[in-house]
Amino acid sequence: MLSIDLGSGGPLRRRTLLRIGSSAAAILTASGLPWLEASSLLDAQRLRDRSVIFLFMHGGPSQYETFDPKMEAPSHIRSATGAIATKIPGIYFGSTFHQLAQRADLFSTVRSFVPGDANHDIKPIVSSASFRCSLGSIYSRVAGAVRPETAIPTAALIHPRSVQPEAGPMITEFGNLAASGDLGAQYAPFIPGAGAGLQEDMQLHLPLERLADRRSLLEQLDQQRRRIESTSASETETLRAQAFDALVKEVSQAFDLRRESADTLARFDTGPLVRPDQIRTQWNNHKHYADHAANLGKLLLLARRLCEQGCGFVTVTTSFVWDMHADVNNAPMQEGMRYVGAPFDHAVSALIDDLQERGLSEKIMLVCCGEMGRTPSLNAAGGRDHWGNLGPLMIYGGGTRGGQVIGQSSHDGGQPASDPIRIPDLMATLYDKLLDVNAVRLDTSLPRPVLDLLGSGKPIAGL
């Protein structure tokens, strides 16, 4: 059963939705209207056949214990977890990433990425401080809120409750990962709720404004359909019902992990790596660590499924787990990387292998970074504190070159030693792979902040 959670208004079931008419996109396909063909042609002129999975490492991952261990530096600076040789001669990662080290020729890392400040926020995946809008919403504004061919949303935001009802809520204290700002709620990413993909009752969070927008679209489609002389009123209702049934089936299947093989589910399963009883409860974030370990692999598998169905921008977040101060809330670096880094290493490696085997490495780009990096020195308790001058960045697929180490960091790993890569450059890299930016910028119907954003940075050289 598919339901739509409207917040205070309660869920709407399939039959109610049928009466409201949010099956517009599926009706378009079923009707075979010439308007759909023209729309698809227009999209093809400015949309590349690619998707992005943005894995947001909330809390601020350390550059030292991930992709730039600095083992030649003094003990208070270099990786607390040691280092491991990668498949690229002379390049080392933090030792927790033993699986990624063996796949280093397939993705690229950036060692001169400058997040910009040391604040806990969501700055890598919002367009700017003045135009608070998620990158997924920007993509939806250009591409349209749904794919006409499949009715899949063009942007989605998934978190542990998307695959496990018992998981904790998504962290919103430091910003709204689904912000659509002045673009309007109809362009906000879909957020699958508790039980999506696991239970018969799949729940999607849909703002009332978005529902009204779909109703307006349906009315326009009805006008088009009435121009087709061979279609009577009764046949129209039958067509609508058939199209909606197809819509429900196809969209709900995209969210249903049970449709994957047992081998694939096992490959992505990060749960056995860190059991809840292995996480010390002295840390206030122990529940977040458990949710991260149990669900990260499933979330990346779900992201791949959504991209296969046409979702263009999938943001993945677990929780506030990369903040390793070694204080009352957070574990120190060595222990924290066992809880957080090991599931990350396994899940991201599983996704890379899966995309390689399915021939999707060109069509799906994976981006992994957080809102900041970590201090060059370990603190007295064995943790690292906030640092905005440098942070880790990893990019795989989507037409980029693998096996690259872009930029260099200073001896202590705290500053870029080559031209810095900043957040606008990361955004430019993503949109360059998703869109024909030059064609999009000629579209005067798009809001000026969107057009300005698309010209604000330069794609990362070397990718």
For the CA atoms of the chain, what is the radius of gyration? 22
Q: What integer pLDDT is reported at residue 208 of this predicted model?
A: 45
Q: Comparing 85-94, 139-148, 186-195, which segment has the lowest mean pLDDT?
A: 186-195
Task: Sketch the domain layout of the chain as residue ranges.
Answer: 12-46+211-254, 52-202+262-404+446-454
Burial level of 250, CB count in 10 A (0-12/13-18/19+)? middle
Nearest-CA neighbor of 116 among 368, 369, 323, 388? Answer: 388
Mean pLDDT (the chain, rounded): 84
User: What's the rounded mean pLDDT across residues 436-447?
Assistant: 92
Distance of alpha carbon 457 from alpha carbon 437, whole angstroms = 12
CB 309, CB 360: distance < 8 Å: no
Q: What integer pLDDT is reported at residue 187 of this predicted model?
A: 92
Q: Is the pLDDT of residue 199 over 50?
A: no
Greater confidence, 246 or 91? 91
Q: What integer pLDDT is reported at residue 27 of this predicted model?
A: 36
Q: What integer pLDDT is reported at residue 223 of this predicted model?
A: 52
- Model confidence pLDDT, tens digit, residues 208-230: 444 444 445 455 445 544 544 44
Q: What integer pLDDT is reported at residue 5 of this predicted model?
A: 43
User: What's the rounded mean pLDDT across residues 277-305?
Assistant: 97
User: What's the rounded mean pLDDT across residues 358-372?
Assistant: 98
Q: Comparing 222-231, 381-390, 446-455, which segment has the lowest mean pLDDT?
A: 222-231
Q: Which residues contact 174 (CB under 8 A, 6 or more apart)?
A: 58, 120, 121, 122, 320, 371
Q: What integer pLDDT is reported at residue 19 of this predicted model?
A: 32
Cβ atoms within 10 Å of 344's Cβ, excluding its own: 30
What top-level class would CATH report for the domain 52-202+262-404+446-454?
A: alpha beta
Q: Is the pLDDT of residue 463 over 90?
A: yes
User: What's the rounded mean pLDDT across residues 264-280?
Assistant: 97
User: What's the rounded mean pLDDT across residues 250-273?
Assistant: 92
- Model confidence pLDDT, tens digit, residues 126-182: 877 678 899 999 999 999 998 877 778 999 999 999 999 899 988 888 899 999 988
Distance of alpha carbon 78 from alpha carbon 85, whole angstroms = 15
User: What's the rounded mean pLDDT across residues 402-423?
Assistant: 97
Q: What integer pLDDT is reported at residue 146 of this predicted model?
A: 87
Nearest-CA neighbor of 167 among 296, 280, 43? Answer: 296
CB 416, CB 422: distance < 8 Å: no
Q: Is the pLDDT of residue 363 over 70?
A: yes
- Model confidence pLDDT, tens digit, residues 16-73: 333 333 334 433 433 343 333 334 444 667 899 999 999 999 999 999 999 999 999 9
Distance of alpha carbon 354 from alpha carbon 380, whole angstroms = 41
Q: Is the pLDDT of residue 402 over 80?
A: yes
- Compute CA distances 83 → 65, 222, 285, 293, 415, whole Å: 8, 62, 26, 22, 20
CA 254 from centre of chain:
16
Distance of alpha carbon 178 from alpha carbon 156, whole angstroms = 8
